[in-house]
Amino acid sequence: MNELLRYFQRELPAINEFLDTEANQLNGLVKDVAKHIIGSGGKRIRPILTLLFARAQGYTGTDYHAIACSLELLHSATLLHDDFLDDAELRRGKAASHLVFGRTETILAGDALLALANEMGARYGKARLSWLLARGIMETAVGEIEEIEFSKNPSLDRDRYMEIIIGKTAKLIECACRCGAALAGATSEQEDAAGAFGLNLGIAFQLVDDALDYASPTSETGKPEGGDLKEGKVTLPLILLMEEDATLDRESLLRGLKEGSLSESECHTILTRVREGRFSEKTRDEAAAYVEKAKACLDGLAPGEPVVVLKQAADFVLTRTK
């Protein structure tokens, strides 16, 4: 992982500085919210992926920060609205923005970051970049809506779950990779390969996130253990448990998830059985298959640093513990 680590160390300062400069130009009412969410320890996976695919496709320029960072700002915008609508208390271990700054500031900061991200992508005067961003914004909005709809009417339907994680997470990562290729003027086949890498990596990323939710203590992820279960979210570890353990009462579980009425002891039972059945690990196994699919999408690229780093990034998605 040395190359990956070095790449992040080398590129992150300029990315963070760019994000900071853009956030500082926002209006006073929303600037602090934007800086709070941007500064709250995001991994910057999306901008790094944009840069890596631009480099992998032969882009040698230095004008990549606006498009790369637009993906990070889109992601930040969705977190602001999500956390408000979920009544979330924590984001990456810190108090959620709406609790620190208020609902008006948080909703408007989400709107402003989305607008800024979109505008940053449009600066290039490249219709393809604007189209990709527009699609990415639309798909992410739809993914978020479908997730909330699913939580209002949860099921143990694995296809529905996959649709939702693709919409809420994988499509934006696909978009990040496509934008890098498009910046480099890649052919549509090359851009599609970049997109397929991103889509598969994004699915793996969310699967690992959902696995971690059942596996790690708060201190590492910044989220309470079993938080998804307590929030009524159906994710793969729970679906796997229900598929394999016929002794659990599915209807009662779904009702409890829908109504938010699962007791502490019911949650404890489920968390224990997920642990005993190793369903968090089995979710990671499914993620591993998507990581392999993602890596296969890199076959057409010329060997070099970007491909080495992209492969290590794919592996890191799988091995991360927070």
Contact residues: a copy of itself, CB under 8 A = 27-30, 81, 84-85, 103-104, 107-108, 110-112, 114-116, 118-119, 121-128, 130-131, 133-135, 137-138, 140-142, 144-146, 148-149, 152
CA–CA distances in Å: residue 321 to residues 99, 213, 215? 27, 10, 9
Nearest to a copy of itself of 66, 309 (CB atom): 66
Inter-residue contact 307 to 56 (CB < 8 Å): yes
SS3 95: strand
CA distance 14 to 256: 47
Residue 107 beta carbon to a copy of itself: minimum distance, rounded to whole angstroms? 6
Residue 139 beta carbon to a copy of itself: minimum distance, rounded to whole angstroms? 8
Residue 99 beta carbon to a copy of itself: minimum distance, rounded to whole angstroms? 16
Nearest to a copy of itself of 116, 238 (CB atom): 116
Residue 187 beta carbon to a copy of itself: minimum distance, rounded to whole angstroms? 16
| Angle, vertex CA 138, rays to CA 87 and CA 231, nearest 5 | 25
Residue 227 beta carbon to a copy of itself: minimum distance, rounded to whole angstroms? 19
Inter-residue contact 280 to 274 (CB < 8 Å): yes
Nearest to a copy of itself of 66, 314 (CB atom): 66
Nearest to a copy of itself of 19, 56 (CB atom): 19
CA distance 221 to 322: 5
**Tally of residues, the chain:** 322
Burial of 133 (0-12, 13-18, 19+ CB in 10 A): buried
Across the chain, how many H-helices and E-strands are there?
Answer: 17, 2
Residue 105 beta carbon to a copy of itself: minimum distance, rounded to whole angstroms? 9
CA distance 190 to 204: 21
CA distance 180 to 242: 40
Nearest to a copy of itself of 37, 314 (CB atom): 37
CA distance 236 to 162: 9
Residue 84 beta carbon to a copy of itself: minimum distance, rounded to whole angstroms? 7
SS3 94: strand
Nearest to a copy of itself of 77, 201 (CB atom): 77
Nearest to a copy of itself of 148, 308 (CB atom): 148
